[in-house]
Amino acid sequence: MNIIIKKHFLLYKGYKLKCSIGKSGLTNFKKEGDLATPKGLFKLGLLYYRKDRIKSIKCKIKKKVIKKNMGWCNDSRSKKYNQAIYFPFKYSAEKLYRRDRIYDIFINIKYNHSPIIKEKGSAIFLHLSNKKYKPTSGCVAILKKDFLKILPLINYNTKILIR
């Protein structure tokens, strides 16, 4: 069963959860920096989490602990574009170990994944939202309590449909 994103709601296995999407809305033609969430059906990648902030996780997908030196490359000049990296890094990259808590736990949405096309967009995640559901830079964001509610239901066959 797929996770479905429809405007500002995430639908999955009987749950209808409020979510936020990119500031520029949804798009079929994603470009790096356009602040839009890409439309389509995508596989899910690893679950990343902060061990110091998320104590116990019930999930069926592979997980990785976020360390202070981890990031995600958003610079199309790099061979590591749209991939996890470690700092120091000579190209532009987003920090995964953040103060604002939105990346305390997230799942990589395998958008622009195989093959990776330069400038087509990077770092598209299902991550945490603040209480006000502030628009994202292109990701999908839900509240922590909602994330932890659906996480045990997600498995290797789960995909995300953004429409």
CATH code assigned at 53: 2.40.440
Q: Whole-prediction pTM value? A: 0.96
Q: Is the pLDDT of residue 65 over 90?
A: yes
For 71, phi then psi, to 5°, come to -150, -175
Structural domain including 144 reads 3-162
The total domain count for the chain is 1
Q: For residue range 80-121, what is the model confidence (pLDDT) as tens digits? A: 999 999 999 999 999 999 999 999 999 999 999 999 999 999
Cα separation of 106 and 115, whole Å? 22
Q: Is the pLDDT of residue 162 over 90?
A: yes
Using CA atoms, how far residue 84 sits from 29, 75, 115, 121, 141, in Å, is 23, 12, 15, 14, 19
Q: For residue range 111-145, what is the model confidence (pLDDT) as tens digits? A: 999 999 999 999 999 999 988 899 999 999 999 99
